[in-house]
Amino acid sequence: MEPIQAVAVRASQTGACIGIPDVTTGELTHFIEQFTIKDGKVIELGLFYNNAGALVDKPKVV
């Protein structure tokens, strides 16, 4: 499965739906990145987890 599952663009707003596997369980973690673009540069970035509960109480791997 490709990490980027969908992309939406409207004027200066861009959003990407991403799914990446958890390194310990292999379970997909889904999130959306939202970008605001001005003059060809990203000026704002938002990160929104769909299932943040899946990340709670798991060991952190760096």
User: Which of 28, 33, 35 has the alpha carbon at shortest distance from 12?
Assistant: 35
Q: Which residue, chain included where needed, has tokens 């292999």?
A: 26
Which residue has better confidence, 49 or 59?
49
pLDDT digits (tens, 9 = 90+) for 6-50: 888 998 999 998 888 877 778 788 888 999 999 999 999 998 877
What is the rounded CA–CA span in Å between residue 61 and residue 20?
Answer: 14
For residues 19 and 2, the answer to whether their CB atoms sit within 8 Å is no
pLDDT value, residue 4: 85
Residue type, 22: D
Determine the 3-state secondary structure of 53 from DSSP: helix
pTM of the complete model? 0.62
End-to-end alpha carbon distance in the chain: 23
